[in-house]
Structure 1
Amino acid sequence: MTSRLEIRRVDPSDDGEYDAWWDAYAAARRADLGDDALIWSHQESRAELLQESATTERHAFVARRDGEVVGACSLALSLKDNLHIAGIGVNVPPQHRRTGIGSALLAHLEAEARRAGRSTMRADIYWPASLPADGAGAANREFARRHGYEIALGDLQNRLDLPVADAVVGDLLAQAPATGYELRSWVGPVPEEFVAEWAALDALLDTEAPTGDLDLEASNADVADHRADEELQRTQGRTSFGTVALASDGRIAAYTQVVVSGDDGNAYQWGTLVRREDRGHRLGLRVKLENLRMLQRHSPVPPRIHTFNAESNTHMLEVNRRLGFVASARMAELQERLAP
């Protein structure tokens, strides 16, 4: 008799349920990328699922067969913008693949998205940097293709091993003098004097950076929501490093942020953006260098920084190349529009 597959929502406050979900998620990610897999830690993922967020509704689900957890998935629904989108993740440990579990989890998520009134599905998948940009030969890419999910934007996952020698940083700083701009850096939450402009720039990032064929609108800029995200980072045990370049009128011309995980010790490059009217002055390079210099003065220094950039974003990739980043994996931002 064929075993029945049961898919149930996870209560993240229940240790047993949450542990089973996270273990399946982490096992699947390691199977796809090995040592290059970037996995949100047990604490980081749980804190996000437990957060009472005004901006995003999140759910996690596990698939069980004969009492054994054989797969995991997640659903994220924005509550203030992009109300047509459902962000999803499907993770099946390698020993349970090719048995219909992934397809069942995906169908479950699509049904949940439809009930929430969403019409566009988005998912991120990863494969080794040695494979081509279209994902040919990657099992997760072929799975997505069979279900109608196509690449809307291709990204590179890049890694910078730390520390970077002071002489290298100094040489690069000489190439990006930022004449006419004041640089300010800090550790922790964004200072009150900058937070409104920071939130506004950060909200533009998804649409100002290359978006490929992604069906996106700009995010809402709200200081209260930004502070809630900072509180989530604190709960997750993360530490933020931020730098801005200020124009002569005192406004933020460019910003960058690196967040250090309290669990794996790695640093993660988050947003970097230069205002349109201030581009062409190498401000992106300058703020990244200042932030890197501050990070390396902090003890202990993280072993490496990870970042993601669209393969079409040649300018930022060149900035990262100058800093010493190397490609460690590829990521595809997938999209599928649900039939009515």
Structure 2
Amino acid sequence: MDGEQARSFEIRAVPVPEALGAPDSREFEAMAEVAALVEESVWGHRTFAWGPASLLPRYRDDRYQPMRAFAAWEGDRCVGRVECEWELSDGAETLDLAIGVLPDARRRGIGTALLEAARGLAADLGRDILTGMSDVAAPALEAPGARLEARDGSGSIPASDPGAAFATHHGFRLAQLERMSGQPLAGRAEEFSAASEAAEAAAADDPARYRIVTWVDHAPDHLVEGMAIAQAAMSTDPPAGESTYDVQQWDAARVRATEEQSIASGRTCLFAAAVLDDDVVAGFTELSVPGDSSATFQWSTIVLEPHRGHRLGMRLKLANLVQLHRVAPERTDVYTWNADENEHMLAINVALGYRVLGLSALWQRDDVAGADSAGTGATNGS
């Protein structure tokens, strides 16, 4: 199709309301619903989607990682959206996108138009690199035909997958694959407790004397500076494949601001940290417990390089699973994403009972102002 005459849709920025349930929040809530429906089209459920109540505090907080969105409308119906997020730390150069179009509205140029809106924002911000994710559930991984592989890791995805086809058509390259895995929790409280006790007993002879400290939502004051250092390392230490990650600058204020945002989003965050006697944080792990879902999400886990080789990763995860059963015993599953080449962390997850549910592809385009992006289609998730 060519020109405005063939366009049956409109792209416009999504207003960020002060609160939900008001007339001026309709477009924001519709955008969040489209995102959930796109997730459902990939996974068969919307467990991984952020509801509007979880999203709104993120959009209203511009201190460290601002977010903006554009939505596609056919009359009064929202049929697609692109969410844009960027890091404000010095030297940051990427704009991260989550693009999705409803299945019955694809192949009309809506995804292309949303991408163009995001490119315009990138140009306004002076960002040279676009990144984004697409998801492929396990059954769809078996689709016949050509495959796409990342440089590192052993996985691959079908080139015919809607997200992959859209990304490659628009000049993105496959920078990394992540395994999306799930772990059942029901009936395992005693198992995790016994395993954690055994891991702590085995660590008693370690002369380094790392102790495991757990907390809910707010880090103890004496550990905030150490947590800032560990959080900053999350943007530099994990395997990055061929992707560009902006180095994040953290201090105590950002740690506290992130805690505030999670609470405002209705999420309970559980932490376990490995700590030395001088309050040095050697590593930590975080579980996010959303208020609008029965699931739990394994977020950051890191052991800083000088402290590796002490089996801290397993100790941290076990301690936090014990804490999860104590704080939120009704939770049924934990979900996590790991770089396909991160063999050490994947081995820990397999030992804990995680199984692969799909792959997430990280796409990158380095010439935002470059080649024309004409075409049609839409990514299939975020």
Q: TM-score of the superposition, structure 2-length normalised?
A: 0.84
**Cα distance 1:3–1:255, how it changes in 2: closer, same or farther (>3 A)?**
closer
Unaligned runs of 5+ in 2: 18-23, 143-154, 371-382
Identity of aligned residues (%): 29
**Cα distance 1:26–1:171, how it changes in 2: closer, same or farther (>3 A)?**
closer
1:154 aligns with 2:177: yes
Does the 8 A contact of 2:69 with 2:81 survive in 1? yes
Cα deviation per residue 1:272-292 (whole Å; 9 max; x = unaligned)?
A: 111212111110000110111
Does the 8 A contact of 1:152 with 1:334 survive in 2? yes
What residue in structure 2 maps to residue 7 of structure 1?
11
Q: TM-score of the superposition, structure 1-length normalised?
A: 0.94
Cα deviation per residue 1:85-137 (whole Å; 9 max; x = unaligned)?
A: 11111110111011111111112211221121010001011111241643213
What residue in structure 2 maps to residue 206 of structure 1?
235
**Cα distance 1:156–1:37, how it changes in 2: closer, same or farther (>3 A)?**
farther
1:178 aligns with 2:203: yes
Cα deviation per residue 1:7-30 (whole Å; 9 max; x = unaligned)?
A: 111112122111221122111121
Deviation beyond 4 Å, 4+ runs, structure 1: none
Secondary structure of the structure 2 residue equivalent to 1:167: helix
Aligned partners of 1:3 and 1:103: how far apart in 2? 12
Cα deviation per residue 1:27-72 (whole Å; 9 max; x = unaligned)?
A: 1121122137511122111221122x21122111111234432211
Matches within 5 A, 1:79-228: 79-130=88-139, 131=141, 133-136=155-158, 137-163=160-186, 164-167=188-191, 169-171=193-195, 173-175=197-199, 177-179=202-204, 180-228=209-257
Unaligned runs of 5+ in 1: none
Does the 8 A contact of 1:238 with 1:262 survive in 2? yes
1:283 aligns with 2:312: yes
What residue in structure 1 maps to residue 272 of structure 2?
243
RMSD: 1.9
Q: Which amino acid is the alignment partner of residue 9 of structure 1?
A: A
**Cα distance 1:166–1:65, how it changes in 2: closer, same or farther (>3 A)?**
same
What residue in structure 1 maps to residue 151 of structure 2?
none
Secondary structure of the structure 2 residue equivalent to 1:127: strand
Does the 8 A contact of 1:41 with 1:264 survive in 2? no
What residue in structure 2 maps to residue 47 of structure 1?
57
Aligned partners of 2:80 and 2:246: how far apart in 1? 32
1:315 aligns with 2:341: no
Matches within 5 A, 1:284-299: 284-299=313-328
1:23 aligns with 2:52: no
Does the 8 A contact of 1:3 with 1:65 survive in 2? no
